[in-house]
Amino acid sequence: MSGAVRELSYAAAIREAMDMALASDPRVILMGEDIGVYGGAFQVTGDLVHRYGEERVIDTPISELGGAGVAVGAAMTGLRPVFEFQFSDFAALAMEQIVNQAAKMRFMLGGAVSVPVVMRMPAGSGTGAAAQHSQSMEAWFGHVPGLKVVQPATPEDAKGLLLAALDDPDPVLIFEHKLLYKMKGPVPEGRYLTPIGKAALRRSGRDLSIVASSIMVHKALAAAETLAEDGIEAEVLDLRSVRPLDREAVLASAGRTGRLLCVHEGVKTLGVGAEISAMVAESEVFHRLRAPILRLGGAECPIPYNPRLEKAVVPQIPDIVAAARDLSRRPN
């Protein structure tokens, strides 16, 4: 990494990455609904349209399928589009373009064509936006060969992963939790890349490993502080990338502590935690575990509008604390 470190919000870090990319590479364009004069649904794009013009910061019609299709086609012809969905939920309208086209073109054409498109996905609950605007869909797309799926948890990674995605020859989906946009943290100046597929150890511990991503990293870290008051030292591993998963980092952490708790906001069934659990169970580390693997994920229901119900259906800090205490008490 280069340059001095300042405090930026998560949203400002993303905007800085897009600004740098637009300034340095004429192939980069931004696309999405209301990203121009309005500045984006969450004001992430800001004033970039005034700086780079409407030919490079392009307001698209209200058609996710159409906009995503144009972005995929533009990428195939040599451009580097960054397409913003107003809400990640709306990507369901563009599954054909993402899953059947972008993810498969390199394979179907024998490597003759790449699809270097980046898709930004504002995701997650906590804003009172109810069932159709609050989902965590990273496991959907993580199931598809040909796609890369990342979940930055910090402003530093929000910038670095976006710049890395723009350098990647394949489609990269970036799930940005909406509650993180205003969170501030250190962000180096200048250009740097956060490697896709590499987890980050956020806290060392001896008693159990908590593997999380996105906003759950911060909840896991807060839970770890509470657990430490009881003498339970939890290690927190930030996946950063759902596809590819950092197998080595997960196995190393689980092997060190002997206990594994997987935490994610997406629905528990068939979620990211299930893949991590299977990965560990199929490895040599499984025989070093001192207790069964635990998963903590979203409830089996759509996200409610009511604020109390909304909090109840996704893991919160007390839930992580309770699960970790339960896991740490299980006999060796």
Runs of H (alpha helix) within 144-205? 155-167
Instruction: Indicate which residue of 33, 64, 176, 275 is catalytic.
Output: 64
User: Can you give the pLDDT at residue 233?
Assistant: 97
306-322, pLDDT tens digit by residue? Answer: 999 999 999 999 999 99
Q: How many angstroms separate the CA atoms of 260 and 203, rounded? A: 14
> Over 70: is that where the pLDDT of 167 sits?
yes
Name the one residue in this structure whose structure tokens are 């927190």.
236
19-71, pLDDT tens digit by residue? Answer: 999 999 999 999 999 999 999 999 999 999 999 999 999 999 999 999 999 99
Told to judge if 64 belongs to the known catalytic residues of this protein, a careful annotator would answer yes
Q: How many angstroms separate the CA atoms of 7 and 327, rounded? A: 36
> Over 80: is that where the pLDDT of 3 sits?
no
Burial zone of 10 (CB within 10 Å; 0-12 exposed, 13-18 middle, 19+ buried): buried
> Over 90: is that where the pLDDT of 331 sits?
no
User: Can you give the pLDDT at residue 4?
Assistant: 80
* Average pLDDT estimate for 190-200: 97
> Over 80: is that where the pLDDT of 157 sits?
yes
Reported pTM:
0.96
Instruction: Write b or e for each residue in 271-297: b if 16 or more Cβ atoms lie within 10 A of its Cβ, otherwise e.
Output: bbbbbbbebbeeeebbeebebebbbbb
User: Which band of pLDDT confidence, cut at 50, 70 and 90, is reported for residue 130?
Assistant: very high
The answer to whether 172 and 146 are in contact (CB under 8 A) is no
User: Which band of pLDDT confidence, cut at 50, 70 and 90, is reported for residue 270?
Assistant: very high
Told to judge if 84 belongs to the known catalytic residues of this protein, a careful annotator would answer no
* Average pLDDT estimate for 218-225: 98
Higher local confidence (pLDDT), 235 or 332: 235
Q: What percent of the chain has pLDDT over 70?
A: 99
Burial zone of 214 (CB within 10 Å; 0-12 exposed, 13-18 middle, 19+ buried): buried
User: Can you give the pLDDT at residue 2?
Assistant: 54
Q: How many CA atoms lie within 13 A of 48 on its CB side?
A: 30
Instruction: Indicate which residue of 84, 133, 235, 264 is catalytic.
Output: 133
Instruction: Sketch out the chain's domains with CATH numbers.
Output: 8-188 (3.40.50.970), 200-329 (3.40.50.920)
> Over 90: is that where the pLDDT of 330 sits?
no
